[in-house]
Amino acid sequence: MQSLRFTALENLAGVDLKIKPEQLNGKITEVFGSNVFTGKVLRENLSDEAYKSLMNSIKSGSKIERKMADQIAAGLKQWAMKKGVTHFTHWFQPLTGTTAEKHDSFFTIKSDGSAIETFDGDALVQQEPDASSFPSGGLRATFEARGYTAWDPSSPAFIIEQGYGKTLCIPTIFVSYTGESLDYKAPLLKALSSLDKAAVDVCNYFDKNVTKVTATLGWEQEYFLVDENMANARPDLIMCGRTVVGHAPSKGQQLEDHYFGSIPERAYAFMRDFEEESYKLGIPLRTRHNEVAPSQFECAPIFEEVNIAVDHNSLLMDVMTKVAKRHKLKVLLHEKPFAGINGSGKHNNWSMATDTGVNLLAPGKTPKTNLMFLTFFVNTIKAVHDYADLLRAAIASPSNDFRLGANEAPPAIISVFVGKYLSEVLQEVKTRVSNKFDEQDEAILKLDLHRHIPELLLDNTDRNRTSPFAFTGNKFEFRAVGSSANCASAMTILNTIMAQTLSNFKKDVDSLIEKGEKKEIAIMQTLRKYIVDSEKVLFEGDGYSEEWEAEAAKRGLPNVKTTPHALDAMVTPKATKLFADTGVYNEKELHARHEILLEDYVKKVQIEARVIGDLATNTILPAAISYQNDLIANIRGLKEIGLGEGAVKAQKQIAEKIAEHINVISENVQAMIEARKVVNKLTDSRQKAIEYCEKIKPYFDVIRYHSDKLEFLVDDKKWALPKYRELLFLR
C-alpha cells in the first residue's frame, strides 16, 4: 500500500484553491453580529422590563430575578426560532482547553402527549452538564459529584451554525455544586470586578464622575496552516499538535519572504471564509497577514471588554478549526509545531477604560490627566514586578515550554519594556520628587507628557519585539501568552495583580493624605516609591540575548524555564493572600487548579512520549531497515558481478551509519518506556510532573536527533512521514 504521504502529495494537485462566490457576502456590516443576541434584537424581542433588567445586570452585575429570566428566555427563544434554531446549549470553557457544549432540544412532550417547543428561565439560568469527565483537581471528589453551569448575562448569547444545524449558545460559567470555580470564566469575572472596584477608587482621585472601569483586551492570534491530507499522514500533528520529528528543510525562514509576501490563494480563501463566520458571531476581526515563518499567519480583532474578548477568542479558535475542514486544511494552534521555525504566540494587548471614555493607559492632554496616566502606568509596572512569578505561571503550559526561552521567542524572564521617552520620565520622577514637600513637587506636576507621547505612538522604531511585556503607546502588550492558550489565564492574573496593586496604592496615598500631605503630592511620592521598588523589572534591550539572562539573574529576576516549576507560584503564601484579598480564588480552588494544571502537564507529556515511541518503532525504524536491506542487496550484487571494495564503499558507510542511528533510537525508546514505568508510579502530581519534565522529555531530543539523521539518509520513497518542506511550503 502506498503511504498516506504520497497519496496526500498526489491529491494536492487537485485541491481547489479559489474562493467560492457563496463565501462572500458583500458588506461586513450587513452580516456583523447577525447571530448574536445583542443591540437592536434585544429591544425587538424583550419587554421593556426584561430589557432594563438585562441591561442593568450587564452594567452592574446585579442579579436577574427568576420572573425576568423567564421573560428573557422567551425573547431568546422567539429570536432563535425565527432564525431556524432547534437546539440550545450552555456554552462554557472548562479547564481542558477547549469549549464545551451539550445540546438540548427546545422540543418536548407535554403530559397530554402533544409536542411543544419550550425554553424557560430555569433552562436559561442553570444546567447540570455531566461534569464528571471535566478536570476538577479533586474538588468534585471532595465535595459533590455534580457541577453546574450558570448563565453569564454579561456575554451575549449567540447562534452556532454547523452544516444544517443551528444551536443557540448561552455563555455560562462552570462551578462545582458547592460553588468552587471549575472553568476559566468564573475566576476571570471575579478578577475583572475586583479590578473595576480598585481602579474606580484610584480614578476618583482625578475624576469623581468615573463609576466603572473596564479592562480591555485585543488579542493577536498566530497560527500555522497545513494541508489536511498531509497532516493526516503525521500522527504527531494529529495527536500532539506538533511535529515530534522532522529534518530541517533546505530553505527555512531565513529569507523572510513569507512575511512580506502576499497571502497565498488557498490561505486567503480560508481566511475569507472563517472571517465571515466570525463576523456573524460578532467577532470584530480587523487584520490578517502572513507571519515570519512559512505557512504561518495572524489575525487580530478590534479590542473589546476582556470578558467578551476572551469568549470571542475561544469561539474563533473553534470556528477556525471547523472552517479549515471545508478547505481541506488543518489549523495548528500549537505554540511550536515545527522545530527550528518560529513559534506562535497570542499577544494580549491590554488596557483599562473608564465609563467616562478615558483609556487609562493613554497619556492625557493636561497635567492632571497625565498624572492619572502615570498612576496607572506605574502601578502596572509595580504589579508586574511584584507578581512576575504569577504572570509566568499564567502562561505556563507544556506546549508553551517549547516556545518560551527557545532562541527566537520571548524568554521565560518577565520584564517590562516602556521605551526611551517613558524611561526618562520615570527617571525624572525618581530624581526630582523628594520625600518632603517642596517646590519641586509642584514642578513635576507640570510634566508635559502629552507633547511627546503622541509622537512616540507613531514611532514604530521605538518598539521592542523581544520584550514579553511591552508598552506600545496606549496599552501594554503581554507577548509571552501562547497561541493555544485561553486568554482567560493571563487575563485573570493580570487583572488580579493590577487590582491588588491599585488598592494598595490607594491605601498608601490615603495614609500620606491623612498625615496632611496634599493629594497630588501624596500621589507623586507614592509613585516615586513604586518606581524605586520596581525598576529592576524594566528592560529596554534585546530580550532574546544571553547577556540579558545573565543580567536578569544579577537583578534577581526569576527565570523559570519549565511549567511544573513555574506553577509553584500559584500556591505560595503570597499568591494565596492575593487571591483571597481580591476574592478571585479561595485556597481550595487554588490548590485544585494547581493540581489540574500539573495533571494536564503529565498527560500531555505522556501522550507525546507514547507517540514518539510508536512513530520510532512502527514508522521510522522500519523505513531505515528497509533501506538498509536495499543497500545490502546492492552491495551483495556488486560483489557478485566481481566489483571490489572500492565500488561498495559508500553503500557500506551509509548502511553503517543507519545501523548506528537505529541502535541509538531503539535503545532510547526502550529506556524511555522503562523510565516512564518508574515515574508513573509516583503519586504526588508535582513530583510526577517534574520527573516527566526532567527524566522523560530529554529522551525526546535524543530520539528526534537520530530520527532526523535517518530522514536525511533514507531513500525518500521509503519515508512515510510528510517532510517539513512538504508541510510548510506546499500551497
Q: Which stretch binds ligand ADP (CB under 6 A): 43-51, 301-309, 615-623, 630-638?
A: 301-309
* Residue with Cβ nearer ligand ADP (230 or 383): 383
Please, what is the minimum distance in Å from the beta carbon of residue 548 to Mg ion?
Answer: 21
Residue whose Cβ sits closest to ligand ADP? 218
Q: Which run of H or E residues covers position 175?
A: strand 165-176
Closest CA to 470 of 511, 398, 417, 427: 417
Phi/psi of residue 227, nearest 5 degrees: -55, 135
Helix or strand or coil: residue 224? strand
Please, what is the minimum distance in Å from the beta carbon of residue 220 to ligand ADP?
Answer: 6
Please, what is the minimum distance in Å from the beta carbon of residue 391 to ligand ADP?
Answer: 17
Q: Which stretch binds ligand ADP (CB under 6 A): 182-190, 244-252, 343-351, 664-672?
A: 343-351
Among 34, 154, 474, 617, which residue sits at the site for ligand ADP (rule: CB under 6 A)?
474
505-445-420 Cα angle (round to 5): 80
717 Cβ contact partners less than 8 Å away, ≥ 6 residues apart: none
What DSSP string runs through 440-456?
A: HHHHHHT--HHHHHHHH
Among 300, 393, 416, 655, which residue sits at the site for ligand ADP (rule: CB under 6 A)?
300
| Residues 30-49, mask of contacts with ligand ADP (x by CB under 6 A) | --------------------
The cell numbers describing 415, all together, are 520584564
| Residues 207-236, mask of contacts with ligand ADP (x by CB under 6 A) | ---------xxx-x----------------
Helix or strand or coil: residue 382? helix
Taking the C-alpha atoms of residue 25 and residue 251, their distance in angstroms, rounded to an integer, is 38
Residue 385 binding ligand ADP, by CB under 6 A: no
The cell numbers describing 365, all together, are 492632554
Among 91, 350, 530, 579, which residue sits at the site for ligand ADP (rule: CB under 6 A)?
350
Q: Which does 77 bind (CB under 5 to 8 A by kind): Mg ion, ligand ADP, none?
A: none
| Residue 530 near residue 505, CB atoms below 8 Å | yes
* Residue with Cβ nearer Mg ion (361 or 592): 361
In Å, what is the CA distance from 646 to each residue of 345, 498, 633, 652, 656? 53, 73, 16, 10, 16
* Residue with Cβ nearer Mg ion (222 or 386): 222
Cβ count within 10 A of residue 253: 20
Q: Which stretch binds ligand ADP (CB under 6 A): 153-161, 274-282, 432-440, 469-477?
A: 469-477
Please, what is the minimum distance in Å from the beta carbon of residue 217 to ligand ADP?
Answer: 6
In Å, what is the CA distance from 40 to each residue of 46, 99, 153, 717? 10, 27, 16, 60
What DSSP string runs through 210-223?
A: ---EEEEEEEEEEE
Taking the C-alpha atoms of residue 252 and residue 489, their distance in angstroms, rounded to an integer, is 33
342 Cβ contact partners less than 8 Å away, ≥ 6 residues apart: 253, 291, 292, 293, 296, 408, 409
Q: Which does 350 bind (CB under 5 to 8 A by kind): Mg ion, ligand ADP, none?
A: ligand ADP
Q: Which stretch binds ligand ADP (CB under 6 A): 93-101, 468-476, 548-556, 653-661?
A: 468-476
Size of the site for Mg ion (CB under 5 A): 1
Q: Which does 300 bind (CB under 5 to 8 A by kind): Mg ion, ligand ADP, none?
A: ligand ADP
| Residues 78-117, mask of contacts with ligand ADP (x by CB under 6 A) | ----------------------------------------
Which residues in the 347-376 window bind Mg ion by CB under 5 A? 347
Please, what is the minimum distance in Å from the beta carbon of residue 517 to ligand ADP?
Answer: 32
Q: Which does 377 bind (CB under 5 to 8 A by kind): ligand ADP, Mg ion, none?
A: none
Looking at residue 556, the DSSP 8-state letter turns out to be T
- What residue ranges bind ligand ADP (CB under 6 A)? 216-218, 220, 300-303, 349-351, 359, 472, 474-475
- What residue ranges bind Mg ion (CB under 5 A)? 347
